[in-house]
Amino acid sequence: MNIIIVGCGRVGQTLAAQLNEEGNNITVIDTVAESVKDLSARYDVMGVVGNGATHTIQQEAGIDSADLLIAVTGSDELNLLCCLIAKKAGNCQTIARIKNPIYSAEAPYLKDELGLAMVINPEYETAQEIARVLRFPSAIKIETFAKGRVELLKFRLPESSRLVGMSVKEVIMKLHCDILVCTVERDDEAYIANGDFVFEGKDIISIIASPKNAADFFRKIDYKTQSVKSAMIVGAGETTHYLCNLMQKDGIDIKVIEKKLDVCEEIADKWKNVAVIHGDGSDKEILLEEGIGRVGAFVALTGLDEENILLSLYAKSVGDAKLITKINRVDYDDVIRHLDLDSTVYPKSITSDIIVRYARAMKNTVGSNVETLYNVIKGKVEASEFIVRENSPITEKPLSELTFKENVLIAAILRGKTVIIPRGHDVIKPGDAVVIVSGVMALHDICDVLR
């Protein structure tokens, strides 16, 4: 596909890398010549310097033959204008990134009236991810499939766990849990686990199950399954606004610490039950005074990655809170993974995953359609959800009779309201939603898993 990306910030860079890797023709636009030059050279993509919200620059970038334009500049208004001009100038689909809560509330109207394919809000999506983890604090990360009927949960195995030394098939047989172990991260290695894989302490494990069966599994291995009751948030940007709303619905007591007085007043005025502290959230005395050692969760959402990391490590040293750390820079992921920060959220990656999923769905073949896409282990393992259509070659045969590529796992089958954790005798049928965990990157169609 021919894809134009307007905006060479971190989201634009991540998108350019991922979409280019999948064989698309990418053109990037930005007003900063150095950013365009750097991105063009790094990923071997076309670059145009100029204002992406002008017809002239869009024509230079090839809007006439573009299939998709993605506007991810730092300005919501500019993104919407880029998409509006693209719809008039070409015959392509358009995606706009929107951050402002005011515009976000208008997203359905903007999408319909401007003919947008998608309105993506990184801060809201990040808040959703944080809220999911706070509901189930044993997990490092939770992704959902089939409108929440299936979950992929990632958790760290303590060295004292009863699972250490057990194989995957022993765990399933002894605990009688209807779950599927998908992946294991150990040091810098990633594995798609088979039945003989033996667990070690500090392994990071991903499982797939229904919410009920996941809760049952965690109870049997003596993990916390109750949602947190209280949370301290440092930093009050857009993500915090959305998070306050979601956490209040879950009955969590919230305390927000923020430097800017006007932002404090805005939050206090909007959410009467939220305790708002005007102060420097990096001040140890303030954190101790406000009870950092007693809260159920600590969420670091300042604009500085370094500050978020240090705050989370400090919270770990003085209490037993569930830690959630926002990281903006995705290029140091390998280093951050070794810091034992519990849960980290990457707004840029969340955004790019959603947009890449849409781009893949545009390229789909007759057999299926990509519904959901997550990076389980970044750059190594993906989880994809497909809706299977009639006449797909993967249907009506037992899974044991199909020949799959290496590093492919059929993780779940959803038929109506029934969640099936598949075994060899199970059969995929037209209309099923199928979750696939794969070390084979860029699955566009469910049939791509077959040899």
Say yes or no: 174 and 277 in one domain. Answer: no
Select the more confidently predicted residue: 439 or 94: 94
Q: Is 200 a domain residue?
A: yes
Strands lying side by side in the sheet with 230-234: 275-278, 253-258, 230-234, 297-300, 322-326, 343-345
pLDDT at 366 over 70: no
Extract the tokens encoding 140. Answer: 């490092």
Q: What separation, in Å, do the N-terminal and C-terminal C-alpha atoms of the chain show?
A: 25
pLDDT at 82 over 90: yes
Residue 180's pLDDT is 92
Residue 375's pLDDT is 78
pLDDT more than 90, % of the chain: 60
Residue 50's pLDDT is 97
Residue 6's pLDDT is 98
Report the candidate in 35, 24, 36 with the shortest Cα–Cα distance to residue 65.
Answer: 24
Residue 254's pLDDT is 97
Q: What are phi and psi of 252, to 5 degrees?
A: -90, 130
- Burial (CB < 10 A; 0-12, 13-18, 19+), residue 162, is middle
Tell me which of 316, 345, 374 is where a domain ends: 345
Say if CB 74 and CB 98 are below 8 A apart. no
Say yes or no: 101 and 151 in one domain. Answer: no
Amino acid 69 reads: L
Say yes or no: 321 and 373 in one domain. Answer: no
pLDDT at 373 over 90: no
Residue 190's pLDDT is 86
Say yes or no: 278 and 357 in one domain. Answer: no
Say yes or no: 318 and 426 in one domain. Answer: no
Q: pLDDT band at 309, cuts 50/70/90? A: very high
Lowest mean pLDDT among 16-30, 31-45, 435-449: 435-449
Q: pLDDT band at 364, cuts 50/70/90? A: low
Select the more confidently predicted residue: 313 or 22: 313
Say yes or no: 270 and 215 in one domain. Answer: no
Q: Is 126 a domain residue?
A: no
Q: What is the total count of domains within the chain?
A: 4
Say yes or no: 238 and 336 in one domain. Answer: yes
pTM confidence score: 0.87
Q: What is the CATH number of the domain that holds 362?
A: 3.30.70.1450
Say if CB 295 and CB 319 are below 8 A apart. yes
Helices (H) and strands (E) in the chain, counts: 15, 22
Residue 54's pLDDT is 96
Say if CB 387 and CB 366 are below 8 A apart. no
Please report where in the chains the tokens 């490092």 appear, as a residue.
Answer: 140
Domain that holds residue 431: 351-449
Select the more confidently predicted residue: 391 or 328: 328
Residue 423's pLDDT is 85
CA–CA gap between residue 418 and residue 33 (Å, rounded):
53
Q: Is 149 a domain residue?
A: yes
Question: How would you classify the pairing of strands 150-156 and 93-97?
Answer: unpaired
Say if CB 412 and CB 145 are below 8 A apart. yes
CA–CA gap between residue 161 and residue 401 (Å, rounded):
36
Half-sphere exposure of 8 (CA within 13 A, CB side): 26
Say if CB 277 and CB 257 are below 8 A apart. yes
Q: Is 128 a domain residue?
A: no
Extract the tokens encoding 307. Answer: 């500050």
CA–CA gap between residue 107 and residue 95 (Å, rounded):
12
Instruction: Render pLDDT for 184-226 as a digit per residue (tens, 0 to 9).
Output: 998 888 888 888 999 999 999 999 999 899 989 999 988 877 7
pLDDT at 365 over 60: no
Tell me which of 180, 195, 220 is where a domain ends: 220
Q: Is 129 a domain residue?
A: no
Question: Three-class SS of residue 5?
Answer: strand
pLDDT more than 70, % of the chain: 98
Question: Three-class SS of residue 106?
Answer: coil
Q: Is 225 a domain residue?
A: no
Q: Is 174 a domain residue?
A: yes
Average pLDDT over the chain, rounded to an integer: 90
Residue 393's pLDDT is 85
Say yes or no: 148 and 208 in one domain. Answer: yes
Residue 367's pLDDT is 47
Residue 109's pLDDT is 92
Instruction: Render pLDDT for 158-172 as a digit per residue (tens, 0 to 9).
Output: 888 989 999 999 998
Continuous segment of H or E residues that includes residue 220: helix 211-220
Say yes or no: 320 and 234 in one domain. Answer: yes
Say yes or no: 203 and 260 in one domain. Answer: no
CA–CA gap between residue 322 and residue 133 (Å, rounded):
9
Say yes or no: 48 and 105 in one domain. Answer: yes
Q: Is 109 a domain residue?
A: yes
Say yes or no: 153 and 57 in one domain. Answer: no
Q: What's the chain's length in residues?
A: 451
CA–CA gap between residue 312 and residue 335 (Å, rounded):
15
Strands lying side by side in the sheet with 381-388: 368-377, 381-388, 433-438, 408-415, 418-420
Q: In this structure, which long-range contacts are made by residues 172-177, counting pairs with CB atoms below 8 Å and at least 24 apart in sequence?
A: 175/217, 175/220, 175/221, 177/209, 177/213, 177/216, 177/217, 177/220
Residue 441's pLDDT is 61
CA–CA gap between residue 237 and residue 446 (Å, rounded):
39
Q: At what angle do helices 76-89 and 107-114 cross, to 10 degrees?
A: 20
Q: What is the CATH number of the domain that holds 40?
A: 3.40.50.720
Residue 442's pLDDT is 67
Question: Three-class SS of residue 325?
Answer: strand
